[in-house]
Amino acid sequence: YSAMLPGGMHYDGVTLSDVSPSLTKQAVRDAIAAGVGAIVVSGVFAPVSAKQEEEACNVVAEELRALGRSDILITMSSDVAGLGILERENAAVLNAALRP
């Protein structure tokens, strides 16, 4: 399962678009329905400013708690790798898959 949601930053830290809590919560519900065991949040230029990834992770964690699924781990791409979006996404997905 994957979802592309609003949000992200420009390379200079200016907001590209805002995070949508309602769309993020729906994506969490869809991911749960698809049977995921981990969730990765990866934002455009997140290593420049992780603010939106942190916001999205907070929304994801809140929704997981509301669904009684606090067992599902969340990985933020900005915690795992540098600026390259593909490298960060891949590293974050591998990290999430390998976590106990």
Q: What is the pLDDT of residues 34-67, one digit of tens each?
A: 999 999 998 888 888 889 999 999 999 999 999 9
Quick one: tokens of 96?
């999430």
What are the percentages of helix, strand and coil residues in the chain, rounded to 5?
45, 10, 45
Cβ atoms of 46 and 55 closer than 8 Å: no
For residue 83, pLDDT beyond 70: no
Report the mean per-residue pLDDT for the chain.
Answer: 90
Q: What are phi and psi of 5, to 5 degrees?
A: -120, 160
For residue 6, pLDDT beyond 70: yes
Cβ-Cβ contacts under 8 Å for 68 (sequence gap 6 or more):
none
More confident residue, 80 or 72: 72
pTM for the full model? 0.83
Closest CA to 31 of 59, 72, 62: 72
Q: What is the pLDDT of residues 20-32, one digit of tens each?
A: 999 999 999 999 9
